[in-house]
Amino acid sequence: MTALAMPPMGNYSIALAASVECLRVTPWTSRSTTPEMMTLGAEAAPEFACLPFKATLGHFIQAAREGVEYGVMVNSVGTCRLRYYRELQQKILKERGLNLHIFGLGYDGIKPPLIRHFDPTPAAFLRCSARAFFKVRAVDRIEEQAWRTRARERHGGDTTRVMDTCLNDLDQARTVGSILAVTRSVRGRFESVPVRTDARPLRVGLLGEASVLRDKYLNHNLEETLGSLGVEVRNFFLLGNEMAKIFHISRWSKDSRRSLMRLARPYLKSVVGGHALESVAYTMACARDGYDGVVHIAPTGCMPEISVRPILRKVSQDLKIPVLELSFDEHSSHVGVVTRLEAFVDILRDRQRSGT
């Protein structure tokens, strides 16, 4: 069977892999970028390209070396650089004599090139879409539980272990029924983790650029680091919401573009691109909902995210919510990131204690 390389999208990779089974291909993917991929990508990419570009390029290069013929990546029509990434990566692969064709997923009519090429039967397509949908929901459920539990766990690492077994089971589940069974079992499994009942976790929102938010390697395992410091995080990039936005089915929900625009209006009156609007809107929502802080993360030089940072600073000042800004590139040091997070959490603890 042919293989299809899919860049990592955090734990959602499980769902994404399920979605392409109907194409009769083997998904070639992982839950996070590996150091080798990063090295390969950084070496082949233009110097000033952003971190996700280098990571995905590295992923494709490694896939091509292992004989994978096809790849797929988002080909957004937005304003950010992402729009050109597929084309540019294809060009770089070709220059290096690597034979991997990348399909773009964007607004390419009803049948995107990927579907046209593999031409799945409608029944198979629907079946896989349903599986993918339920897997996305299951991943969200698992993560929510993990965020809650990790901040309270008695022994470090318990939550991550439970989470891994859940994810592995989910990966193995082949039918909607078994996916739902895993989903139902999630809560019980996490409840078995011994927790400190007296814990008063801080609540911190994670915002920013999607792939850095979701890729554990790229963000230096931010969620777990914060979790082990006793912080209950909430990652605001949720694939379900994203899909709803793309297909315009969430017009009335509080996560729709419309409501976010409305929320962010006093500070930002344009969508900007990428998830810049979301960053501003959710920072305001976090302040309103009583979060203790926000971590805004972006790849170094990310066009949309960096351009709203002055606004985030103003929001932080006006609404009195601490915002930590982190930028990542392939040279970011893990220890440096952890130190900054620890300092940030210390500040939040002080604020929590003094009750301001």
Partner 1 sequence: MAEPSRCDVVVIGAGLAGMTAAALLSKAGLSVIVFEATARTGGYLDFFERAGFRFDTSIQWLNQCRPGGLVYQIHQHIGSDCPDYPLLRQIHRYKDAAHDYLLTSNPLQLRDRLIQDFPHEQQGLTALFDDAEKMGRHMLFLDRRMRSVKSMTLREKLSHGLAMTRWVWPIRRIVATRAEKGLARYFKTRELLELFHSDDTMMSVLVPLGFAFTGDFQAPPKGGSGEIIAWLGRKITAAGGQVLTGHPVKEIVIDDQGSAAGVRLATGQAVQSRYVVAACDVETLFGKMIPGARIPARWRRRLHEADLFPSSFSIYLGLDCDPASLGLNEAMTRLTVAGSGVYGERTSGDPRTSAFTVLAPSLRDASLAPPGKGTLLIQCLVSMDYENHWRTGPGLERGEAYRALKQDYANALLDRVEQALIPGLRQHVEVMEVATPVTFWRYTGNRDGTIMGHKPTRKNIHAYLARTETPVKRLLLGGQWAEYGGGVPMATKAAVNASLAILRDLRPAAFGDLKAVVDGDVAVTPTIGIPRALYYFYYPALWETFFRALGLKVRVSEPSTSRTVEQAALISESEHCLPLKLLDAHLAQVIGRVDWLFVPRILSGLKGHIACPKLGALPDTAAAQFGDRVKVLSVTLDEGRVPLERSLLELGRQLGARDEVIQQAATQALAAMRAARQPPVASGPPGRARILMLGHPYHLHDTFISGPILLKLKLLDIDVELTPFGEGAFPAGPLKWDTCGKMYHHLTTLDRSRCAAVIQLTSFNCGCDSISMEFYREVLKGKGIPYMALVMDEHTAPAGLETRLEAFVDSIRW
Do residues 68 and 99 touch, judged by C-beta distance below 8 A? Answer: no
Cβ proximity to partner 1, 96 vs 314, nearer residue? 314
Among 109, 188, 310, 355, binds partner 1 (CB under 8 A): 310
53 or 134, CB closer to partner 1?
53
Stretch of 32-40, 202-210, 232-240, 309-317 contacting partner 1, by CB under 8 A: 309-317
Choose one: 58-66, 127-135, 213-221, 294-302; the region binding partner 1 (CB under 8 A): 294-302
- State how far Cα 168 lies from the chain centre: 18
Tokens of 242: 């994203």
Q: In terms of CB distance, is 103 or 134 closer to partner 1?
A: 103
Q: Decide: is 16 part of the binding site for partner 1 (CB under 8 A).
A: no
Of the pair 10, 58, the CB lying nearest partner 1 is at 58
Contact between residue 238 and residue 136 where contact means Cβ atoms under 8 Å apart: no
Cα–Cα dist 190/236, whole Å? 21
CB closer to partner 1 out of 154 and 265: 265
| Sole window of 109-117, 187-195, 209-217, 305-313 interacting with partner 1 (rule: CB under 8 A) | 305-313
Q: How far is the CB of 84 from partner 1 (least distance, A)?
A: 5
Q: What DSSP string describes 115-141?
A: HHHH---HHHHHHHHHHHHHHHHHHHH
33-62: contacts with partner 1 (CB under 8 A): 46-50
From the CB of residue 178, how many other CB atoms can be counted at a distance below 10 Å?
A: 15
**Of 308, 323, 345, 348, which lies in the binding site for partner 1, with binding defined by CB under 8 A?**
308
- Give the CA dihedral 64, 69, 71, 77, nearest 10 degrees: 110
Site for partner 1 contains 322 (CB under 8 A): no
Residue from the set 81, 86, 152, 220 that interacts with partner 1 by CB under 8 A? 81
Smallest gap from residue 329 Cβ to partner 1 (A): 10
Which residue in 79, 64, 86, 73 sits closest to 13, CA to CA?
73
Q: Smallest distance from the beta carbon of 300 to partner 1, in angstroms?
A: 6
Rounded (10°) angle between helices 122-150 and 176-191: 0
Angle at 338 between CA 214 and CA 326, to 5 degrees: 55
Judged by beta carbon, residue 46 or residue 67, the one nearer partner 1 is 46
Report yes or no: 165 and 189 within 8 Å, Cβ to Cβ.
Answer: yes
Residues touching partner 1, count (CB under 8 A) = 45
Site for partner 1 in 245-284 (CB under 8 A): 262, 266-274, 276
**The one among 36, 43, 66, 87 contacting partner 1 by CB under 8 A:** 87
φ, ψ for residue 295 (rounded to 5)? -110, 120
* Sign of the C-alpha dihedral computed for residues 341, 347, 348 and 349 taken in this order: positive
Q: Of 44 and 226, which has the nearer Cβ to partner 1?
A: 44
Token pair, residue 224, equals: 């777990």
Under rule CB under 8 A, residue 313 binds partner 1: yes
Binds partner 1 by CB under 8 A, chosen from 204, 327, 328, 341: 327
Q: Starting at the earlier edge strand, list the strands of the sheet with 323-328.
A: 231-235, 202-208, 293-299, 323-328
Q: 3-class DSSP state for residue 141?
A: helix
How many helices (H) and strands (E) would you count in the chain?
A: 16, 8
Which among 32-40, 140-148, 149-157, 296-304 is the span making contact with partner 1, rule CB under 8 A? 296-304
User: Exposed, middle or buried: residue 288 (CB in 10 Å: 0-12, 13-18, 19+)?
Assistant: exposed
Candidate list 57, 80, 163, 202; residue touching partner 1; CB under 8 A: 80
Residue position matching structure tokens 């589940």: 173
> CA-CA distance, 351 to 324, in Å (whole number)?
15
- Nearer Cβ to partner 1 (193/312): 312
Task: Name the residues that contact partner 1, by CB under 8 A.
Answer: 46-50, 78-81, 83-84, 87-88, 91, 262, 266-274, 276, 287-288, 290, 300-304, 306-311, 313-315, 318-319, 327
